[in-house]
Amino acid sequence: MDVKTRKAEQSEATRAALIAAGRELFSTRGFADTATEEIVQRAGVTRGALYHHFKDKTDLFRAVVEQIEGEVTAKTGEAALNAGGVWEGIVAAVDRFLDECLDPGIRRVVLVDAPSVLGLTEWRKIERDYGLALISMAIETAMSEGLIERRPVEPLAHIVAGAINEAALTIGAADDPLQARKDVGEALIRFLDGLRVGT
């Protein structure tokens, strides 16, 4: 292994350690109560290493949010693929996403802190970047199967994504997340059923 490759691997390992440390602290304490000094100590790196990889604590937080979004999107897609049918896959994906929103760490980082730390516009952009392609693909497939009336996919995907995001935020803000998850889950499935041909 040459020096350049070894340095690149060390750099990637340092970045991964910072994200892992940040994720653990942001998930348990929240963004505001996590100090950069704690993050670098937990990661076993210097403060300089933090600022080499990230502009500031908010930039690290964004990387944590994106990591979580990537994992949730993968789990949601897997649920859809394993459901045994196109419509069943859409329902399973929505259910899995809402279940993920009950995880205390995900709830705190993605649904409570991210909209305020990153701003609602940036939070919605990240949500779209990770979830919109999956939603668009599901809608396109449902239209191809004759389950949803053929219409432009993109505007409908944005509307469905908006409904799902609002459901997630409702769970995030709820005093009783389990009840909120049940209520918004039922409402979302009724909304999606309304898109089906012949219902």
CATH number of the domain encompassing residue 127 = 1.10.357.10
Q: Work out the mean pLDDT of the chain and round it to a whole number.
A: 93
Q: Classify residue 30 by burial, with Cβ atoms within 10 Å: 0-12, 13-18, 19+.
A: middle
| Cβ–Cβ under 8 Å, residues 93 and 80 | yes
- Here the tokens at position 104 are 């205390």
Q: How many domains does the chain have?
A: 2
- Give me the CATH number covering residue 49: 1.10.10.60
Is 143 part of any domain? yes
Domain boundary among 25, 54, 83: 54
| Six-digit token string for 31 | 């963004």
pLDDT in tens, 79-100: 999 998 999 999 999 999 999 9
Please indicate, yes or no, whether residues 49 and 80 belong to a single structural domain of this protein: no
* Residue 196, phi then psi, degrees to nearest 5: -70, 145
For the cut 70, the answer to whether the pLDDT of residue 3 exceeds it is: no
Which pLDDT tens digit goes with each residue over 118-174?
998 999 899 888 888 889 999 999 999 999 999 999 999 999 999 999 999 999 999
* Residue 13: CA count within 13 A, CB half-sphere: 8
Do 48 and 65 lie in one domain? The reply is: no
Are 90 and 41 contained in the same domain?
Answer: no
Domain annotation covers residue 199 = no
Angle formed at CA 37 by CA 32 and CA 39, multiple of 5 degrees: 75
pLDDT tens digits along 15-58: 999 999 999 999 999 999 999 999 999 999 999 999 999 999 99
**Residue 166 domain-assigned (yes or no):** yes
Residues 50 and 69 reside in one and the same domain = no
Range of the domain at 32: 1-54
